[in-house]
Amino acid sequence: MLETFIQLSFYESILHFMQTLTEVIIAAGWRGRVLSETQLARLLDGSAQRRYNLVNRALRRGELVRLRRGRYRLAAAVGGTAPHPFVVAQALRAGSYVSFESALSFHGLIREAVPATLSVVPGRRRDEMSVPGQGSFLFWPLALNPGYFLEGVGRVVFDGQAALVARPLRALLDRCCLLRSDWPGVEALLQGLRIDPDGLAALWDDELEALRPVYRHRRMCAVIDAMQEAWAV
């Protein structure tokens, strides 16, 4: 009996060892996830060389897509679905959050689709990446005060995977900061960004004071003052 159990365990181990990387990922229920090297190491038995070989084989077959070094996902044709672009953005640049027009569109303030996923990234390096089947991703650094990077930013879950997304006022102020522009006024904002008037009216200025210490430039304080005056009318 014990001998039979050992033989079965041995054959099960061999069968698992012979599975393709795609089969292992699907069996784990991770078909729509962005996967790191650490997660792949937990899924796969054997040496680092075996893991390297399985990854390269899946890439050659077109079953796996490399988002960047150390970040992968199953091809949509294999996994049946692709991760949300905001989740991909987090995988491409750790510590970033989605903002600007991308966040405004997500919150329903912009009616038109935004062609790229726009994010704020810590540090000073601007970055741009293109991922097959997912589109373009742009990452912009802003002049922010230490300790306030995630002020006005929320955590949103897409099919079990989390992404950081700026709330509407933070996204709006981030855009002013990026463009180094003054507050254009409500009418100009509605025309320039094609923001839904009802959506803009639904915003409230209570959060503006909390966002005042976020930005380094004094010009942003003047922008917040102008916004508060506009809301008070």
- What local confidence, expressed as pLDDT, does residue 155 receive? 96
The overall average pLDDT reported for the chain is: 82
Same domain, 147 and 221: yes
- 170 exposed, middle or buried (CB, 10 Å; 0-12, 13-18, 19+)? buried
Distance CA 32, CA 29 (A): 8
Percent of the chain with pLDDT over 90: 33
Q: What is the dihedral sign for C-alpha 16, 20, 21, 26?
A: negative
Band (34; pLDDT cuts 50, 70, 90): confident
Is 1 a residue whose pLDDT tops 60?
A: no
- Reported as type and span, the H/E element at residue 18 is helix 2-18
Q: Which of 56, 79, 102 is the last residue of a domain?
A: 79
pLDDT in tens, 146-166: 999 999 999 999 988 899 999
Region of poorest pLDDT, from 3-7, 106-110, 210-214: 3-7
Q: Which of 45, 63, 79 is the last residue of a domain?
A: 79
Distance CA 199, CA 94 (A): 30
Same domain, 73 and 178: no
Same domain, 90 and 67: no
- pTM given for the model: 0.80
Residue 213, SS3 per DSSP: helix
Alpha carbon dihedral 153, 154, 155, 156, in 10-degree steps, equals -120
For range 4-16, the mean pLDDT: 37
pLDDT in tens, 97-143: 999 999 999 998 887 788 899 999 998 899 999 887 788 999 999 99
Domain count, the chain: 2
Task: Give the domain range for residue 159.
Answer: 85-232
Is 5 a residue whose pLDDT tops 60?
A: no
Helices and strands: H and E segment counts in the chain: 12, 9
Same domain, 97 and 75: no
For range 92-97, the mean pLDDT: 93
Which has more confidence, 101 or 17?
101
Q: What is the DSSP string of 94-159?
A: TT-EE-HHHHHHHTTSB-SPPSEEEEE-SSS--EEEEETTTEEEEEE---B-TT-TTTTEEEEEET
For range 83-101, the mean pLDDT: 93
Same domain, 71 and 92: no
CATH code at 72?
1.10.10
Degrees (nearest 5) of the Cα angle 176, 182, 184? 90
